[in-house]
Structure 1
Amino acid sequence: MRKTAAAALVALGLWATAAAPAPVAVSAAPAAAAPVETVFIGDSSTGNFGIAPTRGPAGCVRSAENYPVKVVERLAPAGVRLDVRADVSCGGARIRDVWEAQSFPPSGGERAGGERAGGERIAPQEAALGPDTGLVVGSLGGNTAGVASILKQCSPRLRGAEGSMMPAEPVDAASPASECAAYFQGEGARWLAGRMAAVRQDLGRMFDQVKARSPNARVVLVGYPRLVPADTSRCLAEVPGGSEKPFADIGQDALTFLDAGVQRPLGDLMREAAEEAGATYVDLYARTGTTTGCDGARRGVGALLEGSEVSYGGHRLPWYVHPNRTGRDLQAAAVAEAIEGLLGA
């Protein structure tokens, strides 16, 4: 009787010691995602002007440790691999230098009217794009908006030898630097409106140019870190360990205008243009309100006339309010997060 019951259980596969082990399904490991062919474009914010060492064309002052390099490093552990075919970011680049050759004037820089003097020329940034490019990333807009000319309009020191390496002229040298906020709200308002209109128009063309050369590319337009805090009195103290104020001799009324009348509208315009083109916008302004140039030890922006890490002709170039290493890392974190959101899945 017991033998018969045991035999029945074995036949049904319910006798634990006699039943054959159930086969275990073994799924193949997922194949690693192919690296995405990537091109970084942009201006000195992408190139991280002021951080040593530099590489590429001398006039570009592009850091070999800029945020594109750090973005690749950050994304690798998440399994998002970028095959960086080119980094063509360059100091002084305007949006139109995506499709036009960029020139480097020997000293005078860009004239207030937007014309460029002659000098060394490099190929349009779009030359690095191709049909296999899957990702295009960079910051562009500040030079087209004329931010350097605005800074020179507001700073007597920048109008002198200390500003000689900044490729721009003041908008109206006949108007005193001490009156620059009033100037841009009066006589200079038309100039500024024209520059903002050029940003909108040129960004539209830039997105079209990228799409024509790289139809399948995703585009990430990166904004600029916030320079001036809401409380400009924080800009009256010298930077830690230095003898310079964050914005040198630029007055508080001018700093308020620079933030509310230039940088915030520029960021809004860049976001709108990116959204209209179906691109991704990285809003650094919104993320860096506590690491402005006036935030002491936390600052992510080098002071206007504080010596940077890069030397030229035996002298350290000023930061000219570009991201320092802290700011570079903030840029990289925000951009890597955006790219992972696009490609991580």
Structure 2
Amino acid sequence: MRLTRTLCAAAVLLAATAAGLTAPAAGVNPPKIPTVFLGDASVAGWGIAPVDPNGLLCVRAQENLPDVIEDQLADQAILLDITADVSCAGAALHHVWEEQELGGGGTAVPQKRALTKETKLVVVGLGAGTAGFGQVLKQCSQRLRGTEGSHLPDVPVDAGSPAAQCDAYFSKGAGADWLERRFAQTGKDLDKLFSEIGSESPSATTVLVGYPRLVPKDRKRCRTALPGGERPLADVPEAAWGFLDTKVQARLNSLMAAKAKEHKAHFVDLYATTGAATACDGSDRAVGGLLEPSGVTLLHQRLPWLLAADETGRDGNGDTVAQSIAAMYGHGPA
């Protein structure tokens, strides 16, 4: 990857020279931007093989979202010095300032420890865990409540309420109240996230990355089985598909965008750009199906995608984030 980045930067400089533009002196590269990536599975690259042995318990892919962003920016002679990528599957917002318990008795230190006074760019992909997305999925899937859901450590909100009736459960009463509390906590934790970053890295620009869309506007597409035979949303009842899209994912996206604006951070709206490549788009999908086998095997067990971005999604999302960051630095459209 480093060789690729070097060649990309060289190509940009040669193109500028050929076009008659003033090129930097020989041997001079653009200054590197000290960068830290914080995040959950959406940044770590859950399900994408091979897994980085240094991030095994976090199921962090060797080539994940930060790698794609770094390479795409190098094409525009914007060079990142990634001092840390501490993204970890299962992380919630509070794991920026608190330890995260991992499988096998391990723990991950608070992600904010990767930040320094010298950090100039912080890219964050967090929020779904705090909003309780995993618990919502387990409330809506009987299969996830069994052994098939062992890799999703969350528990259903109310195991006594049938998974097939989850949309009704969340529409009123205890389920609706629970969801309101989760979103209220997510808002508070987003405020604290920006505060923590500001304290640790006062001169850094923060980029908050939203989540790609999982359920398309035309939800009938979710009835078609994936090439491997699994349904995109497994046994989540059709009545809950709209709820997952509008009441959970779109709402989280709006909250993240609003909080980023409030704290003068930059927001990358992946939800708005990924509606044609959701988990329900067959061979064109950029999101792995809920219980579709991924490319990663751990402890002799194949991990399911659990609606995480696959390699296509990683590349597309990384390109979108890179374009947005490039615009911040005056490259390309704003």
Return the TM-score normalized by structure 2: 0.89
Q: Name the count of aligned residue pairs.
A: 307
1:285-342: CA deviation from partner (whole Å, max 9, x where unpaired): 0000101100111111001111101101212100001000111011101110111112
Percent of residue pairs bearing the same amino acid type: 47
1-side partners of 2:24 and 2:260: how far apart? 37
Output aligned runs, 1:1-345, within 5 Å: 29=24, 32-55=29-52, 56-104=54-102, 119-186=105-172, 187-240=174-227, 242-344=228-330
Secondary structure of residue in 1 paired with 2:152: coil
1-side partners of 2:273 and 2:23: how far apart? 41
Gaps of 5+ in 1: 1-25, 107-118
Deviating more after overlay: 229-238 vs 158-167: 229-238
The alpha-carbon deviation at position 58 of structure 1 amounts to: 2.4
The alpha-carbon deviation at position 57 of structure 1 amounts to: 3.4
Structure with the greater alpha carbon radius of gyration: 1
The alpha-carbon deviation at position 32 of structure 1 amounts to: 3.9
Change (3 A) 1:36 1:247: same
Secondary structure of residue in 1 paired with 2:145: coil
Runs of 4+ with deviation above 3 angstroms = 26-32
1:96-149: CA deviation from partner (whole Å, max 9, x where unpaired): 10011111255xxxxxxxxxxxx3211100000000000000210000001011
2-side partners of 1:208 and 1:89: how far apart? 19
The alpha-carbon deviation at position 251 of structure 1 amounts to: 1.3
Amino acid at match of 1:312: L
Secondary structure of residue in 1 paired with 2:119: coil
1-side partners of 2:241 and 2:106: how far apart? 33
Assess if the C-alpha contact under 8 Å between 2:57 and 2:103 holds in 1. Answer: no
1-side partners of 2:43 and 2:261: how far apart? 20
Secondary structure of residue in 2 paired with 1:61: coil
Q: What's the counterpart of residue 3 of structure 2?
A: none
CA RMSD between the two structures: 1.5
Secondary structure of residue in 2 paired with 1:93: coil
Relative to its length, the structure with more helix (as a share) is 2
Return the TM-score normalized by structure 1: 0.86
Deviating more after overlay: 29-38 vs 72-81: 29-38
The alpha-carbon deviation at position 344 of structure 1 amounts to: 4.1
Amino acid at match of 1:58: L
Secondary structure of residue in 1 paired with 2:296: strand
1-side partners of 2:101 and 2:301: how far apart? 23
Amino acid at match of 1:88: V
Assess if the C-alpha contact under 8 Å between 1:233 and 1:252 holds in 2. Answer: no
Gaps of 5+ in 2: 1-20
1:202-252: CA deviation from partner (whole Å, max 9, x where unpaired): 010010100111011000000000000112211111112x11000111111
The alpha-carbon deviation at position 28 of structure 1 amounts to: 7.8
